[in-house]
Structure 1
Amino acid sequence: MIWIAIRMLTGDAQKFYGLVFGIAFSTLLITQQLTIFVNLLERGASAVFNVPSADIWVMDRVSRTTDVAYPMPSTALDKVRSVPGVEWAAPHLRATASVRTGDGDLEGVAIVGVDDATLIGLPRRMAQGNIDVLSRPDTVIIDDVGTTNMFEDGRSPIGERLELNDQRAVIRGIADAVPSFTSQVTLYTKYSQALRYVPGTRNRLSFVLVGAAPGVDHQQLVARIEAETGLRARTRNQFAQDGIDFIVENTGIPLNFGITVALGFVVGVAIVGLTFSLFIRDNIKQFGALKAIGVANGTIRRMVAAQAALVGLIGYGLGVLGTIAFIWGFSAVPTFKGFYIPWQIPLISLAAVVLILALTGWVALRRVLKTEPAAVFR
């Protein structure tokens, strides 16, 4: 009987392809939008991900994220270093500045000052050049996404001279970094050099990066640092989550993407429900004939479930493949650098497809179950 149900479904090619398209489109819209949403949220923690060596971030009490931070006095570094359980502590500066390129263009950039001795604070990998170039005077390293934004003509930025707040800077390396939420150009340099590029204020230390001693629990060390220094301390994962939460709480991104995902679900219900109802209407006599020869309602339910399962399997597969093709096709675009599909998202899409088919199948099935066997003879 299941085979008969499949033949009934595929025999009406127009409605069969309509059902598959409805499920595929709904799956594609839900999966693609959720993928972009999650990856955009994770960009809020990009600055933390770019410093994998830091176990703990220490900051002023009012600081919230890497982009919303209140500078501390330089003495905060010594306070943190004196806390038992701290193996090392390095200064970290993050600020914004205006840069004038050799062509005379003005660009807003983020300045990141890393520890002079250890260079802690740089991204793990370099796309071009070596971190040793920072030992040369007036050297900055630009992030790879920032390269495409600042040098749109495709020329190499190596050797380019910039003017940073009336100070000379020379690009001598390209870092392979996770882009920020705004994809702003980021320039990395030594902490002492960054102090020259950033307009002078009394306090300019943004963060203190901490490495925990072997065997020391990170959460306990966080509590100890806060108790002994009066500063705010967060583990790497906690501070990354703070950046994500800040975007969720202060932007309309969750609402906008939520509306799009909801529309994808509604469109799927509308297309599949309408097409399924038309399919049942056109085949009501066949179902009546089956009931006339003694096919029970339970078997009818399994037949409709098999039809829905076939449509759902094909449509869901096409929708997920479409999302993979989209991510792969745009992987070369700097804005989409590092985008991936979390494993939870296909499961969410699958649950949405099952719900769509359950709702539309139940509505269509009611008409079949109410059909009298004698209807086939009328």
Structure 2
Amino acid sequence: MKGILILAYKLLVKDKGKYTALLVGTTFSVFLIVQMTSSFAGILTKASATVINIGAKMWVMDPAATNSVFGSIPMPDYVLDSVRSIDGVNYAVPLYVSSALLKLQDGTYQSATVIGLDDTSLLGRPELVQGNIDDIFAENGFIAVKDEEFPKLGNPTLGTEFELNDHRGVIVGIATVATGALFGTPTLYTTYNRAIQYIPSTRFTTSYILLEPKSDSDIPRITEQVARLGYLAQTNDEFQNGIESYLIYKTGIGTNTLLMTVISFLVGLSICGQTFYTFIIENLEHFGALKAMGAKGRELVYVILFQAGFTALVGYGLGIGLATVLIAAAKLRLPEYASRVTYTNLGLAFLLVVIIASVSGYAGVRRVLKIEPFDIFRG
């Protein structure tokens, strides 16, 4: 068997033109698949940025506000008191999320997302790299998130001032978060009361309620009790999944990604299938000679499968490497570029490559098994 596989390898690489065409087709297909799915994964992650960065155990919201954290519907104050009284709730605090228009020191205007944290606990506060968290309670105190959108604020430092709805704001801290925002706007953190004072809003101001259950076994009961109030309680993972489901099934993002992935797969399948079949046809005399020398049908099948599988694996590795390098290079030049390579992306690309190799190999196997040594030598 070892000798057969060595022969299969030499037979494959001897025809450099066909071998190169097979590698190019597989590599290009994998590259496109990984690029599309990685961009989609990056968009899904950034869409849930606020949920991920806050990191609350459970979220309470209006049932109509499950599509995006930026589509919150303010809740009356009594909802917070009712949630706190539910058996199994360790604590519950309000959260304010809204967009605002800032006037920077140079006179330019910049949209930003303002997150108001509970004044008492500051639940969901980001990790500071500069400044002191206690300074957020100072007059006009705001914390700026240093992510991809940070330069849009003019790269502020501690003490940088701006205007928000004719109110003076001061940067008292620079923070980092796990995930940057999707919609191209920088993020500021402040206290809940300051946020509702500075930003015009409706008479209800609680965007979400963050709560901590006493134990995981209390989650179903809390969810049921909140539902009786007419509101929705979700765990952190459930909220993220809801946002992702909305983007996948109720927007054009999921459909466009699926179409481009299918097109990439078909391109690779057509190039590799046609090239590999041509390669088999041009080497029929070699397979006929092997059969005449006593090679069994299954050994010829091993030769075909080895050639298809070897080409697919090499092309898969080259495609992954090329996609990873280009994504890394794009992020160096465009920090806000939303792309993230995940195990799911890699697994999907590998599965599609296996299908490409299987279809290509199947066409070759059928042709080789029909060959008769007599026909080869007679020709």
TM-score, normalised by the number of residues in structure 2: 0.91
Asked if 1:324 corresponds to 2:327, the answer is no
Q: Which residue of 2 aligns with 1:295?
A: 295
Question: More deviation in 284-293 or 353-362?
Answer: 284-293
Partner in structure 1 of residue 210 of structure 2: 209
Q: 2: distance between equivalents of 1:190 and 1:220?
A: 30
| Residues 1:234 and 2:237 aligned together | no
Alignment of 1:9-28 (within 5 A): 9-28=12-31
Would you say the 8 A contact 1:127–1:144 is kept in 2? no
Contact 1:46 1:179 in 2 (8 A): yes
1:362 and 2:359 aligned: no
Matching of residue 109 in structure 1 with residue 112 in structure 2 = yes
Report percent identity of matched pairs: 32
Report the Cα distance in structure 2 between the residues aligned to 1:30 and 1:236, rounded to whole angstroms: 29
The SS at the match of 2:102 is strand
Please report how far the alpha carbon of residue 133 of structure 1 lies from its aligned counterpart in structure 2 after TM superposition: 2.1
2:132 and 2:256 map into 1 onto residues whose CA distance is 41
Aligned residue pairs: how many? 371
Deviation at 1:10, TM superposition (A): 1.0
How far apart are 1:327 and its partner, in Å?
3.8
In 2, the alpha carbon distance for the partners of 1:60 and 1:306 equals: 57
Please give the per-residue CA displacement for 1:4-39, whole angstroms capped at 9, x wherever unaligned: 111111111121122122212212221232122122
Structure 2 counterparts to residues 268-283 of structure 1, below 5 A:
268-283=268-283
RMSD over equivalenced CA pairs, Å: 2.0
Q: 1:142 aligns with which of 141, 144, 149?
A: 144
In structure 2, what is the equivalent of residue 314 of structure 1? 314
After superposition, the C-alpha distances for 1:121-173 in whole angstroms (9 at most, x for unaligned) are 323x224333222021111112222312333xxx4443222111111111222
2:98 and 2:115 in contact (8 A); partners too: yes
Tell me: CA distance 1:46–1:200, structure 2 relative to 1, closer, same or farther (3 Å): closer
Kindly indicate whether residue 98 of structure 2 is the aligned counterpart of residue 95 of structure 1: yes
Three-state SS of the structure 1 residue aligned to 2:48 is: helix
> Is residue 160 from structure 1 mapped to residue 163 from structure 2 by the alignment?
no
Match status 1:171 vs 2:171: yes
Shift of 1:281: 2.4
The farther-off stretch of 173-182 and 183-192 is: 173-182
Structure 1 residue corresponding to 2:75, chosen from 72, 76, 79: 72
2:15 equivalent to 1:29: no
CA distance in structure 1 between the aligned counterparts of 2:234 and 2:264, rounded to whole angstroms: 38
- Report Cα offsets for 1:251-282 as digits up to 9, x if no partner: 21111111111121111112212221221222
Deviation per residue, 1:84-111 (Å, 9 max, x gap): 2221111111111211111121222111
> How far does residue 331 in structure 1 lie from its aligned partner after superposition?
4.5
Q: Deviations over 1:320-357 (max 9, x none)?
A: 222332343344443247x5432232222111111101
- Does the 8 Å CA contact 1:92/1:121 hold for their aligned counterparts? no
Q: Deviations over 1:57-102 (max 9, x none)?
A: 1123432232112111223222222222221111111111211111
- 1:217 and 1:327, CA in 2 relative to 1: closer, same or farther beyond 3 A? farther
**Counterpart-to-counterpart distance in 2, 1:238 and 1:37:** 19
- Give the counterpart of 1:130 among 129, 132, 142: 132
Secondary structure in 1 matching 2:70: coil
Mark the CA change 1:219 to 1:183 in structure 2 (over 3 Å): closer, same or farther.
Answer: farther
The code of the aligned residue for 1:111 comes to V
CA distance in 1: counterparts of 2:250 and 2:54, whole angstroms: 25
Tell me which residue corresponds to 2:345: 345
How does 1:240-279 map onto structure 2 within 5 Å? Answer: 240-279=240-279
CA spacing shift, 1:127–1:225, aligned 2, 3 Å: same
Asked whether the 8 Å contact 1:45–1:243 carries over to 2, the reply is yes
Q: What SS does the corresponding residue of 1:230 show, helix, strand or coil?
A: coil
Which AA in structure 1 matches 2:274?
L
Equivalent residue of 2:64, what SS? coil
Is the counterpart of residue 223 in structure 1 residue 227 in structure 2? no
Aligned-pair distance for 1:300? 1.3
Kindly indicate whether the alpha-carbon contact (under 8 Å) linking 1:56 and 1:222 is maintained by their aligned counterparts in 2: no
Where structure 1 has 5 or more consecutive residues not aligned to the other structure, the ranges are none
Secondary structure of 1:67's partner?
Answer: helix
SS in 1 for 2:180: coil
Equivalent position SS for 1:217: helix
Q: State the AA in 1 paired with 2:17.
A: Q
| Equivalent in the alignment of 1:55 | 57
Residue 209 of structure 2 aligns to a residue whose secondary structure is strand
Q: Shift of the alpha carbon at 1:215? A: 6.3
Structure 2 counterpart SS, 1:22:
helix
